[in-house]
Chain A
Amino acid sequence: MRKFTIVKLAVAALVILVLVVAYRLFGTVIGAKVGEQVAKVGLTSNEVAAHGPLPGEVSLYAKELACQQQIPTPGYYSSLNGAEIANAQRSGVFPCATFTGSMDGPNHVYAWRSQDDFPGVSYINNRKPGELYIVGGEYPTLDDPNMAGPFVAKADATTGKEIWRTYLDNLNASGHWIGNANLNILDNGNIVVAWSNQIVLVDADTGAILRHNNLPSGAAPTADVNYKHLTIAPDRTLILKDQTRPFGCTLQGTVAIIKCAAEGMKQPNSQLVAVDPGTLEVLHDIELPEPATAPHIITTFEGRIAIYIGMNTRVQRAFWDPATKKLSLDESWIIRPIREGQSTPAAPTVIGDWIAAQLNGIGSDTVASSVVVASQKDPTKQQIIFPFGELKKGEWSFAPPKNGADPENSMIYSADVGMRKVAGIKIDQVTGELKLAFVVDDTSTTFQPLIGPKDKRVLLLTNMKLNVEKEPLKIALFTENYREQLTWRDATTGKILAESDFFEPLSINGLTPPGFGGRVYFPTAVGKGFYVLQVMPKPSAESGK
């Protein structure tokens, strides 16, 4: 063997030896580092930054709960959102929730995806800190157009690990029309849920179904009603209203109404029903003069329990009399704010003496959306604003979410996903006059919740980004061909304070409710679960983080 070959062999052996030594010394480190990188595959930068579950600021839990318990929400569990959307007015205002970011400096968003899957997740409510309730299984997606559900689940509020899940139906076997459902926690801690023509009380500790009853379908065939809307009156009575599916329509989901109505199919009228919260006995029910696709709200007017209902062509007031246990329509308070070409109002909003209604709740190809306010005392006193101007040819206006409102700061918010804008509108609570405060480019199908105290209010807006910029929005929306983020904004100016990554689309017309400790939940039916989001001031470069 030549000397040169021997040297080469020795060098090779030395290299192998060094590699073996390196592996023996650092093998676990290398493996761990590879594992660390693999764990990040598919995560967004917000998730990578969080690197695990987000408990939020636990020191705030008790303070936030105590704050909330000073705000009366009769009939509802007194917590950050015992009610589906804050309270019986569906106000979307959460004054006791905290924004943990900076109001004037850069922020960073952290994200954690729920540990368990919750297919078709739609609403998320908090009971005590740590306790999260979820309704799902009633939101068709492209990969699961006929999903089993609805279900109610309890999950850990930080990890999103399921504690129990109770399925209430499976349309594949029952053949029922399953539309979007509802989620409300009663003052006694139990949960009431209605779907199709049925209602149940669920033990919130165990998930056991405590009671069940059938609800009257009124003028509509039983197969075409979906008691999506459940709001609790101040005397604890449950006031329910059904969405109706057009005659002859066999599609599933609440989207069936929009799709079939667009084809000219006719909806039956809705039914308003009062139900005992303990026994689920139907106390009284009345047929409404029109289909009412959007939720109703409940407030008090001159000592009476008033129910405001947006219907296909009008907004009307009804009353619930807890003494006689009767519902009645108030023929003296009807407004017909819809201009020709516009579509149904979304759920009304209370702002002082005024009732605001967002139009184009199921879309329009001809007329832009508008916001109308009418005096509770005199429905002829009305003001209208078209915050986004006129609809241009070929454009689409679609404003399914109700108006956000901040009575303390005299602000109304309006979102038109079709026109891809959100407006902040100042209202003069004396005259009802409406003036634009700001308009921002923002594409969102959902509510505009407000968190924090009056002087530090933060507006939460989701924002969609199409996967194909030039694709018509309507097609992108119905084919889920987009991603969506959450933005935290200055509620006065619309200025972005923080913005998350873009995730799978938020459940259409769902809510991004606040959680304890400065967190926000982002439910995504397409993503089969939810994200826990938290904003913190961006760490300075010097901190090295």
Chain B
Amino acid sequence: MNKSTIIKLAVGTLIVLALIVVYRLGGTLIGAKVEEQVAKIGLTPNQVAANGPLPGDVSLYAQELACQQKIPTPGYYSSLNGAEIADSERSGVFPCATFLGSMDGPNQVYAWHSADDYPGIAYINNRKPGELYIIGGEVPTAADPIPAGPYLAKADATTGRELWRTYFDNANASGWYIGNTNLNILDNGNLALSWSNNALLVDGDTGQILKISALPAGVAPPAASNFKHLTIAPDRTLIYKNQTRPADCKGQGTLGIIKCIQDGMKLPNSVLVAVNPDTLEVLDMLQLPEPAPSPHIVTRLHDQIAIYVGMATSVRRYFWDPAAKKLSADESWQVFPMQKGQSAATAPSVIGDWIVVQLNGAGSKEAASSITAIHRDDAKKMKVIFPFGALKSGGFSFAPPKAGADPENGMVYSADMGMGKVAGIKLDQASGEMKVAFVVDDVTSTFQPLIGPKDKRVLLLTNAKLNVQKEPLMTAIFTNNYKEQLTWRDPATGRILAESDFFEPLTINSLTPPGFGGRVYFPTTTGKGFYVLQVMPKPAAGK
């Protein structure tokens, strides 16, 4: 063996020895650091920043609940969102929810994905702080076009860990048309739900089905009816309405209806049904003159219980008489706000004496979306605004979410996903006159919830970003080929206060409801669960 070989061997041995020493001394350190990095793979920066579940500011829980309990929501559990979208008017205003970020400085968003999967997740509601209810299994995705469901689940509000899950159906076995459903917590803590032609009561503590009863579909074939809409009247009566599917339409999910409508298929007419909230006995049924694919709202008109329904070509008012237990149409209040080429009105919104409706709920290739405000005491008093101007040739207008409204600040919000914009509109509550306050570029299919007290309100808007910028929007939406974020905005100007990372798409036309302690939930069917989001002032450098 020559000298050079001996030296090489000695050096080699030394290196091996050094490596062994390094491993023995730093083994746990290296392993731990590798593990730390591995744990971050696939996470967005918001998730990496959170590094775990987000309880929010727990010191706010009791304060927010107490604040909410001062706001009457008869029939609903008194909590941040015992009702599907805030209250029976589906107002989307959550004055007791908190924005923890800075209104005038930089903010940081933190995110946590639910510990468990919730396929086809649609709505999320809060009961007591810590208690989250989830309805899912009824939004088809490309990966799961006929999900088993619907189901109701209870989850930990911080970790998203499932506590129980109760399935009600499975379209693969039952063959039923499963459309988007609903989620409302009754004042006694149980949940009233419906799907297809069934109404049911579920124990909010255990998930046990307490009662189930059949709902009448009216002129629609039962197989083409889905009682998606449930709103509770001030006397606690459940007011149901069905979405109907064209007779020849085989598509599943509510998106199935939209696709069939866009293919020119005709919908059967809808019905309104009044149901006892304790026995689920059907108290009355009223056949509507048109299909009504979007939700109705319930509010008071002087001393009467009024139900406003947006339909394919009209917006109409109905009454529920709790004494006579009868539903009736108000022939004196019906408007036909659609201009040529426009499609269905979405759920109406109440802003003082005005009923506001968003048009093009099912989309239009001919006319831009508009907002119509109608006086509740005189249907002839009507104001219209096209916040985004006229539709350009080749353009597409699609505005499925109802108009957001902030009566205390005289603001209406309009989102047109097809046109890629959201507008804030100032409404003069005396004259009904509407003026555009701002228009921002924002692509969203969902509601525009408002959180916080009147003078510190924050507007929540999701915003979609196509994976392929040049892909037609509707193709991207139907194939889930995009990502979506949540933005927190100044509701007077639309200015962004905070914006999250882009996650899997939000469930179409769903809500990003607030949670206790300054949190917001972001349900995503494609992502099979939900994100818990929290905004905080951006820490100074060096944190």
Contacts and interface: CB of A to CB of B under 8 A. Distances in A.
A170 interface: yes
Nearest to B158: A167
A170 B54 contact: yes
Contact of A143 (B24, B35, B112): B35
B106 to A, nearest CB: 14
B39 interface: yes
B163 A467 contact: no
A467 B50 contact: no
B130 interface: yes
A200 B534 CA distance: 21
B515 to A, nearest CB: 12
Contacts of B128: 208
B29 interface: yes
Interface string B32-70: 110110010000000001111111011101100000000
Contacts of B59: 198, 212, 214
Contacts of A206: 130
Contacts of B27: 467, 481
B494 interface: no
B100 to A, nearest CB: 8
Interface in A281-335: none
Interface string A441-479: 000000000000000000000000001100100000001
A410 interface: no
Interface residues of A, number: 40
A148 B156 contact: no
A471 B52 CA distance: 33
Nearest to B543: A175
B29 A142 contact: yes
A137 B52 contact: yes
A142 B36 contact: yes
B501 interface: no
Interface string B259-290: 00000000000000000000000000000000
A484 interface: no
B62 to A, nearest CB: 6
B110 A173 contact: yes
Interface in A148-207: 148-149, 151, 162, 164-170, 172-175, 198, 200, 206-207
A99 B51 CA distance: 40
B543 A142 contact: no
Interface in B371-417: none
A467 B62 contact: no
Nearest to B159: A165
Interface string A251-293: 0000000000000000000000000000000000000000000
B310 to A, nearest CB: 39
Nearest to A137: B52
Interface string A122-151: 000000000000000100011111111101
B25 interface: yes
Most interface-central of A142, A143, A207 (chain B CB within 10 A): A143
A170 B28 contact: no
A209 B49 contact: no
A142 B28 contact: yes
B158 A166 contact: yes
A538 interface: no
A281 B206 CA distance: 33
Interface string A61-94: 0000000000000000000000000000000000
A146 B28 contact: no
A212 B62 contact: yes
A488 B229 CA distance: 64
A480 B28 contact: yes
A517 B62 CA distance: 40
A468 B543 CA distance: 33
A207 B161 contact: no
B536 interface: yes
A527 to B, nearest CB: 12
A148 B25 contact: no
B534 A173 contact: yes
Nearest to A146: B51
Contacts of A212: 58-59, 61-62
Given A144-B36, A172-B51, A468 B25 contact: yes
A475 to B, nearest CB: 8
Nearest to B534: A173
A211 interface: yes
B32 A147 contact: no
B131 interface: yes
Given A142-B36, A144-B36, A174-B536, A208 B131 contact: yes
Contact of A164 (B49, B163, B539): B163
A173 B48 CA distance: 11
Nearest to A149: B52
B529 interface: no
B517 to A, nearest CB: 10
Nearest to A120: B52
Given A167-B158, A170-B110, A200-B58, A480 B53 contact: no
A206 B29 CA distance: 38
A423 to B, nearest CB: 29
A460 to B, nearest CB: 25
A142 B543 CA distance: 17
A198 B50 CA distance: 20
A479 B54 contact: no
B36 A143 contact: yes
Contact of A147 (B26, B33, B51, B62): B51
Contacts of B55: 166-170
Interface string B107-149: 0001010000000000000001111000000000000000000
A148 B58 contact: no
A467 B31 CA distance: 14
Contacts of B161: 162, 165
B523 to A, nearest CB: 20
Given A142-B29, A144-B36, A209-B130, A172 B156 contact: no
Contact of A481 (B28, B53, B543): B28
Contact of A166 (B50, B110, B130): B130
Contacts of B28: 142, 467, 479-481
Contacts of B62: 211-212
B162 to A, nearest CB: 11
A148 B61 contact: no
A170 B50 contact: yes
Nearest to A505: B28
B61 A209 contact: yes
A146 B110 CA distance: 14
A141 B32 contact: yes
Contacts of A211: 62
A175 B536 contact: yes
Contacts of A175: 536, 539, 543
A208 B129 contact: yes
A107 B59 CA distance: 50
A131 to B, nearest CB: 17
A169 B55 CA distance: 6
A167 B53 contact: yes
A143 B59 CA distance: 29
Contacts of A144: 36, 39, 51
Contacts of A208: 128-131
Contacts of A165: 156, 159, 161
B32 A148 contact: no
B159 A172 contact: no
Most interface-central of B54, B55, B539 (chain A CB within 10 A): B55
6 contacts: A148-B50, A167-B52, A172-B51, A175-B543, A211-B62, A481-B28
Given A166-B130, A174-B536, 12 more contacts: A119-B52, A137-B52, A144-B39, A165-B159, A167-B158, A169-B58, A172-B49, A173-B50, A174-B57, A175-B539, A207-B130, A212-B61
Interface of A: 119, 137, 141-149, 151, 162, 164-170, 172-175, 198, 200, 206-209, 211-212, 214, 250, 467-468, 471, 479-481
Which 8 pairs, one residue from A and one from B, show the smallest C-beta to C-beta distance? A148-B52, A142-B32, A143-B32, A167-B55, A143-B35, A173-B110, A143-B36, A167-B158
